[in-house]
Structure 1
Amino acid sequence: MADTPNGELKKLTIFAHKAPDCSDAAIGSFEAYVNPNEITLAYEVEYDAAQGSGTTGSRMNFKKMKPGDLSLTFFLDGTGANGKKIDVQKKIEEFQTITMYNGDIHRTNYLKVCWGTLTVKKCVLKNASIAYKMFRADGVPMRAIITASFIDTADDKTRVAMAQDQSPDLTHKRVFKAGDKLPTLCNEIYGDPRYYLRVAEANGLDDFRNIAPGTQIFFPPLEK
């Protein structure tokens, strides 16, 4: 792993919080012994498959963004071969304390994963496995690999706001500006300009062609 420009090696760190948005002071942290060689970010988008009568294909209507997953693998070495000797079991217990159940909040800790230029990931532990690779004669573990998956959680408000801004199944309000046309706005929100008559009716507009700038237009949810 290359050093940073100032020669200081930054370690991936997981900070534990009690507040869902991680706005409070961290109650602890886990620093990687060796930075991971690979970080996997997985995203999932949920759609409703709407198929018109008499058609063979389906139109994938956006429904919502699901929480994303972050997968990490931590290598722990207690032999000193990497220049730093650690207590492997103690490091594993440190990871478990930071990421797992917290009796004070009656659930797992809320986490922030930070490293370099990566966007700070606010998440909770989804699952983890520990593979012990080497033992001393007395059974003390000398090497281990922690494979962990985290799921997005603290950005729920942001994801909901994004969904509400984009989904045609939720209510929208727009302030009509000079140059705006109702069919064009319907096309932006619903993906179909033909809904302009329904929007005009919902807003009590007698003439959709002459809407005064500054008028607030209500775009109702589409009926399934």
Structure 2
Amino acid sequence: MSDGTLAKLRIEAYTDSRFNNQAPVPSLVVPINPAKYSRNGRISYTDNKAAGAAGASPVFDRMEPETVTFELVFDATGVVPQPGGVNSRNGVADQIDALRAVAYAYNGDIHSPHYLKLAWGSFLFKCRLQSLDLTYSLFAPSGIPLRARATAAFVGYTDEYLLQAKMKKSSPDLTHMVTVQAGDTLPLLCHRIYGNSRYYSQVAEANGLTGFRDLRPGQQLIFPPLAGPA
């Protein structure tokens, strides 16, 4: 149940593709929630028909990653309280710098920008920044920008380990991803996947669980293969 506090869009940065290690930069909580966002998916097909053929016979190739686009507004006119409750003398520059540090800046330790988590209420999206367009629209007499709109497009990210799991093949020698239902236990799920409940400790370790009872409905678990590569 909500406590009445307004949930704000939060952008968290990570340094690994499994989203286990948070980057040493502050997460960004946007001062103004977006009025809307778009979420798009795409399926790629191939068509081997000869040129000039009437019609097409598309053959499934792959699922393209989803993309999510937000328009974020940053304001330093004094109308909107600034992070920390203090209006910035630098206009919106500090807020834009914070956005860049989280999502756009190159991290030399991982040789790329950060892996990102977008969290807003029930919305959770693991991704990487694809593009960032900034538009400045209001200025102080000194020329310092006081308002900016950032159109940020994010492309969904799933590491190879999870991609194998999402295929949901039936063999116990392949990786599986399972969504926990009410009443599920780790030994029961292991018996369902592997035909034997004794692998629960390995599954707990693979998912970073401190105990085999640490399950909650809706949680997604990885069940690694019994043999062979993930």
- Under TM normalisation by the shorter chain, which class is it? 0.5 to 0.7
- 6 and 173 in structure 1: CA distance in 2 versus 1, 3 angstrom threshold: closer
Shift of 1:26: 4.4
2:116–2:127 CA contact under 8 A, matched in 1: yes
1-structure distance, mates of 2:9, 2:144: 26
Shift of 1:162: 4.1
Query: 3-state DSSP class of the match of 2:31?
Result: coil
2-structure distance, mates of 1:79, 1:6: 29
- 161 and 92 in structure 1: CA distance in 2 versus 1, 3 angstrom threshold: same
Q: Show structure 1 runs of 5+ residues with no match.
A: 166-171, 175-224
Shift of 1:153: 2.0
Query: 3-state DSSP class of the match of 2:100?
Result: helix
Q: Show structure 2 runs of 5+ residues with no match.
A: 173-230
Deviations 1:99-134 (A, max 9, x none): 12112222101111111011x211111110111111
2-structure distance, mates of 1:50, 1:164: 28
Alignment of 1:117-132 (within 5 A): 117-118=122-123, 120-132=124-136
Shift of 1:142: 0.8
TM-score where L is the length of structure 1: 0.64
Within the alignment, does 1:142 sit opposite 2:114 as a pair?
Answer: no
1:18–1:105 CA contact under 8 A, matched in 2: yes
2-structure distance, mates of 1:104, 1:56: 53
1-structure distance, mates of 2:75, 2:102: 20
Alignment of 1:205-216 (within 5 A): none
**1:9 corresponds to:** 6
Q: Percent identity?
A: 28
**1:32 corresponds to:** 30
Alignment of 1:158-197 (within 5 A): 158-162=162-166
TM-score where L is the length of structure 2: 0.62
Alignment of 1:53-202 (within 5 A): 56-84=54-82, 86-87=87-88, 88-100=92-104, 101-118=106-123, 120-162=124-166
2-structure distance, mates of 1:157, 1:40: 27
2-structure distance, mates of 1:83, 1:173: 55
2-structure distance, mates of 1:173, 1:6: 45
Give the structure with higher Rg (CA). Answer: 1
Deviations 1:172-209 (A, max 9, x none): 969xxxxxxxxxxxxxxxxxxxxxxxxxxxxxxxxxxx
1:68–1:151 CA contact under 8 A, matched in 2: yes
Deviations 1:34-68 (A, max 9, x none): 1111111111111122559xx84333221111112
- 43 and 156 in structure 1: CA distance in 2 versus 1, 3 angstrom threshold: farther
- The alignment covers a number of residue pairs equal to 162
Shift of 1:157: 3.8
Q: Which amino acid aligns with 1:151?
A: V
